[in-house]
Structure 1
């Protein structure tokens, strides 16, 4: 019997196209007014294809998280337009942010419940997603009973649940948009390495569009298909690289350009 996860994997492999999932045109964001105004982003032009894994790279304070907030609809642009053509976006943060009184399975079920999905369907979906992130058998555990890496896996499963349509309008749960704000930064190096590999496996399996924020060049090159470098505040696109089109020297090239951006801002 074919599960919905298996159907999703096959659909993702067949259906990835160059069609645009996300488009920002002339986007700027300013907080406040008058002399106290702070411009976080300016003149952002960016497109992300359906099923693409894109990393936003830049120094702290360059507007990476603000850009994610614009994509999620939590913020509105001051100038320009933001278009998101996916199932509803979902977030994954540096902290797992799980509900401590709920089990792992119930945490994954929560966005499905809020979307109105029936109990049986959401329990089955939560089971499938926990299995996808290699946590089958721990659905009845509460967050304090899990390691930090396991909590982040639960958070990933919950984000995937939230990123798929549950209103019946999308066949089999349409791949959505996953917004990831340095989700592995608080983990130790070994756990971080493992979860990076797991994220790539899950992305390959589901076809979810991923926009991943980091300030770690090595992480960006390992994970993404495309790396976009933002300038220091106000953030704007400095340069982008297609990872598949560059060799092993890409890490050094991006690092050098990032250092230039940071140095020019400090000057």
Structure 2
């Protein structure tokens, strides 16, 4: 990844994917408008973004800037009204603010679900689910139902299930994990712990992650690259490679975000 400094803003340009290795996600001039005529609302406009396989990218912006809309487009839950969007083969895996576990299934069976849908045998999916629960430090809790787990534990189960879908039965699928403010509803201590767990899991699996947040500190802690969207209609107005001086970068991005919000309010 290379970095170009313009004024006070450091704009990161992602290092191109290796020859023969396609990018995991690419958006070129992507726009999304809801409705038509006088009722039309443009959520995204002229978005250019590429994510390399195995990269961890945070999408940052104020509420209502189109971050979640962009994730929905990448996930295939909606289609752009302009531009070109290249998605990974197969469906990306999604993790939301709420754990969204099936309450009548145990933790293990919740993790097994995407593996069952892919046709994996019962014994193989149980073994894979156990591996993933161990990866998120919930080994021994496969038989617990969601109501028996804390909020943080439920999000770990949700993460394990998302990884089952993203990495496939043997853990080598190299899929894409989309995360829409997954820790926003948690208390500060639990959120801090799960951010650390997510980084550990990402390093262990090499999964491509696109993570939406409005929290600059969370973005700088987690990402290899932070992408800032303007207020509606959302478009990319800044990118930063995350290096060692995270405090300076936090202040820099916070200042740029304030500029974006102020210009929208003016």
TM-score, normalization by structure 2:
0.90
SS in 1 for 2:153: helix
- 1:39 corresponds to which residue? 42
Residue pairs, 1:33-112, within 5 angstroms: 33-112=36-115
CA shift for structure 1 position 245 = 7.0
**TM-score using structure 1 length:** 0.90
Structure 1 residue 163 displacement after superposition: 1.0
Shift of 1:88: 2.8
Alpha-carbon distance in structure 2 between the residues aligned to 1:87 and 1:34 = 34
Alpha-carbon contact 1:87-1:177 (below 8 Å) kept = no
Q: Deviations over 1:73-124 (max 9, x none)?
A: 0010100111123553010000000000100000000111112111111111
Q: What runs of 5+ residues in structure 1 fail to find an aligned partner?
A: 1-16
Residue in 1 that maps onto 2:224: 225
Q: In 1, are the aligned partners of 2:115 and 2:165 still within 8 Å (CA)?
A: yes
Question: Cα 1:247–1:191, aligned 2, differ >3 Å: closer, same or farther?
Answer: closer
Please give the alpha-carbon distance, in whole angstroms, between the structure 1 residues aligned to 2:57 and 2:250: 16
Q: 1:150 to 1:172 in 2, by over 3 A?
A: closer
- State the distance in 2 between where 1:87 and 1:253 align: 37
Q: Secondary structure at the match of 2:184?
A: coil
Counterpart for residue 255 of structure 2: 256
Does residue 234 (structure 1) correspond to residue 237 (structure 2)? The answer is: no
Q: 1:130 matched to which residue of 2?
A: 133
Confirm or deny that 1:121 pairs with 2:124. Answer: yes
What's the RMSD between the two structures over aligned residues? 1.3
Q: Whole-Å Cα distance in 2 between the matches of residues 50 and 244 of structure 1?
A: 19
How many residues are treated as equivalent by the alignment? 247
Q: How many angstroms does 1:45 deviate by?
A: 0.4
Equivalent in the alignment of 1:212: 211
Deviation string, structure 1 residues 118-159 (Cα, Å, up to 9, x no partner): 111111110000000000000000000000000000000000
Q: Which consecutive unaligned segments of at least 5 residues does structure 2 have?
A: 1-16
Q: In 1, are the aligned partners of 2:115 and 2:168 still within 8 Å (CA)?
A: no
After superposition, the Cα gap between the structure-2 partners of 1:121 and 1:148, relative to the gap in structure 1 and judged at 3 Å, is same
Tell me if structure 2 keeps the 8 A contact 1:31–1:37.
yes
2:133·2:157 contact (CA, 8 Å) conserved in 1? yes
Offset, 1:257 = 0.5
The answer for the alignment partner of 1:157 in structure 2 is 160
